[in-house]
Amino acid sequence: MYRGFNVDLGKGAFEDTYVAAGESLFAGRQATLKPALDACVRADGSLDGGKISSGWFPQVACDVFLSHSHGDRELAIGLSGWLHDQLGLTSFVDSCLWGYADDLLATVDKAQSWNKETGHYSYELRNITTAHVHAMLATSLAAMMDATECLMFINTPLSTKGTGKIRETESPWIFSEIEASRMMRRVPKRGVIVNESVEGVRKTAGAKLAAKFRHRLDLAHLAPIGADELIAWNKAVGRGPETLDVLYGMIEDPQV
């Protein structure tokens, strides 16, 4: 990753016009490799984490990593459609390109944690399976972020609470992504992406979750940017990854 931006788009800036364009970009692209769990069992009975990760959370070549709340999914898809339509940039939106981690976890739990005799899941075993699946997702997200050149965090009332550069979030995945971006190495522009993602875990069965956490969210390393700046950027450039150079020149880097 080379630069990160704290993006405040406002209501209706991109989702109304470009959602269809964004959805067409991702149509049919969600992870299709998802290997059957039986195919990931090693001779000793353990599961091959690398094989599962590469199937459910594959690394893909993208210019921009869009970090967002699951509730802002249409806004992220709309922004990805605008970035591609207007600037020729490809975006990573986890739920559009990866399998849902909850689906993976349910599959693993059925095989590893279900006790036929009691008719219940083992609490202890489910803690272990959850830890492994979430670790695979978190590391895959970090690898994907590291491989893209630019991160754009879509900052809305659904993703953060409070005001200023220090905020709070109730999403463990936004917390993880922003913290990872804060500590991530700065790589040269147009770095080579090595092919080796979701708030998929955000997908629930509609049940209300009682447990809530809030995490301190330090956004000081992300340059503030709004819809006006994006539109001005669009007017100043052509298309392709090189257009990011103009954005970097327009918006001061808080880390310099």
Q: Going residue by residue through the chain, which has 256 residues, state the pLDDT in tens, using 9 for 90 and above.
A: 999 999 998 766 676 789 999 999 888 776 665 778 888 888 888 889 999 898 889 899 999 999 999 999 999 999 999 999 999 999 999 988 887 888 889 989 988 898 888 889 999 999 999 999 999 999 999 999 999 999 999 999 999 998 888 889 999 999 999 999 999 888 877 754 434 333 333 343 344 445 678 889 999 999 999 999 999 999 988 899 999 999 999 999 998 8
Is 255 a domain residue?
Answer: no
Provide the pairing of β-strand 91-92 with 64-67.
Answer: parallel
Alpha helices (H) along 116-164: 123-147
Measure the CA–CA gap between 180 and 113, rounded to whole angstroms.
30
For the record, the structure tokens of 124 come out as: 């202890």
Measure the CA–CA gap between 135 and 49, rounded to whole angstroms.
10
Is 256 a domain residue?
Answer: no
Question: Helix (H, G, I), strand (E, B), or coil: what is residue 67?
Answer: strand
Q: What is the pLDDT of residue 15?
A: 67
Note the pTM of the prediction, 2 decimals.
0.84
* Position 179, amino acid: E
The string over 46-72, giving b where at least 16 C-beta atoms fall within 10 Å of a residue's C-beta and e elsewhere, is: ebeeeebbbbbbbbbebbbbbbbbbeb
What is the extent of the structural domain holding 239? 3-250
Provide the pairing of β-strand 120-121 with 114-115.
Answer: antiparallel
Tell me how far the alpha carbon of residue 18 is from its chain's centroid.
19
Is 206 a domain residue?
Answer: yes
Give the residues across from 52 on adjacent strands.
none
Measure the CA–CA gap between 84 and 244, rounded to whole angstroms.
12
Measure the CA–CA gap between 175 and 15, rounded to whole angstroms.
24
Report CA dihedral (232, 2, 245, 25) to the nearest 10 degrees: -70
| Domain count across the chain | 1
Question: Helix (H, G, I), strand (E, B), or coil: what is residue 215?
Answer: strand
Question: Helix (H, G, I), strand (E, B), or coil: what is residue 207?
Answer: coil
Is 125 a domain residue?
Answer: yes
